[in-house]
């Protein structure tokens, strides 16, 4: 692999990270990454009606109630953020 190939791959990765929030970046901590994954999962569940129907059937709830519950879980999917240490 040549130096120009590595530069091209890194520039493509930086472009993807700037364009899509869920792909992460170098300063992303573990909590923020977990929040992105959870929110992306809940959005997928809400957007795919058969999966939403499956969850509703498994939990014996209506589809509307499951959609509402998933949207509520999207607010704080991993709980409150940890306190940051001041430098």
pLDDT tens string, the chain, 87 residues long: the values are 676 666 687 788 777 777 776 677 667 788 888 898 899 999 999 999 999 999 999 999 999 999 999 999 999 988 888 887 765
Task: Report the interhelical angle of 30-47 vs 49-58 (nearest 10°).
Answer: 100
Task: Give the residue among 19, 21, 27, 18 at the shortest CA–CA distance from 40.
Answer: 21
Residue extents of the structural domains in the chain: 30-76
pTM (predicted TM-score): 0.73
Task: Give the residue among 47, 46, 49, 24 at the shortest CA–CA distance from 37.
Answer: 24
């Amino acid at each position: 692999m040549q130096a120009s190939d590595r530069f091209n791959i890194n520039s493509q990765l930086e472009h993807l990270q700037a364009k899509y929030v869920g792909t992460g970046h170098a300063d992303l901590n573990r909590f923020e990454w977990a929040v992105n994954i959870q929110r992306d999962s809940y959005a997928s569940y809400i957007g795919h009606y058969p999966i939403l129907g499956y969850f509703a059937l498994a939990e014996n709830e209506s589809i509307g109630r499951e959609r509402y519950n998933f949207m509520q879980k999207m607010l704080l999917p991993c709980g409150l953020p940890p306190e940051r240490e001041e430098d």
